[in-house]
């Protein structure tokens, strides 16, 4: 059975993309503050794991640009930041599903692979 990850993020951004507006409005300018937690449940083979990421750590990952529309805005919006697949590779994880869980209790489950 594949790993299942619970990703708790302060904003529901499924591909872990950040915009400058998010950095300014939410004090993400503090490069040493934890802004992302990745929890890996225990299995028969290993104990539970928790990975903490700072904004500096996320910015060290390869950056990509993503354009999409959102419910609360008009037209296309551009987001920049690390892709989830790159973050998972950094912690050497290959989950079959990921649950992204925002601070406001919004949640989404999805396939984290490039093909998914």
Asked whether residue 51 carries a pLDDT value surpassing 60, the answer given is yes
pLDDT at 21: 39
| Angle, CA of 46, 54 and 102, to the nearest 5° | 75
Asked whether residue 23 carries a pLDDT value surpassing 60, the answer given is no
Pick from 31, 34, 33, 35: nearest CA to 9 = 35
Asked whether residue 1 carries a pLDDT value surpassing 60, the answer given is no
- Model confidence at 30, pLDDT cuts 50, 70, 90, reads low
User: Do 91 and 82 contact (CB within 8 A), yes or no?
Assistant: no
Q: What percent of the chain has a predicted confidence (pLDDT) above 90?
A: 8
How far apart CA 79 and CA 96 sit, in angstroms, is: 25
Q: Considering the entire predicted model, what is its pTM? A: 0.62
pLDDT in tens, 77-105: 988 888 888 888 888 888 878 888 877 88
How many CA atoms, within 13 angstroms, populate the side-chain half-sphere of residue 116?
14
pLDDT at 5: 46
């Amino acid at each position: 059975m594949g790993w299942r990850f619970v990703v708790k993020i302060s904003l529901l951004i499924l591909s872990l993309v950040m915009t400058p507006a998010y950095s300014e409005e939410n004090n993400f300018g503090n490069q040493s503050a934890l802004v992302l937690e990745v929890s890996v449940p225990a299995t028969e083979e290993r104990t539970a794991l928790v990975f903490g990421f700072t904004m500096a750590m996320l910015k060290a990952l390869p950056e990509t640009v993503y354009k999409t529309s959102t419910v609360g805005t008009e037209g296309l919006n551009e987001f920049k930041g690390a892709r989830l697949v790159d973050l998972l590779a950094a912690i050497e994880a290959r989950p079959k599903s990921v649950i992204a869980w925002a601070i406001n209790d919004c949640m989404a489950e999805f396939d984290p692979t490039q093909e998914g």
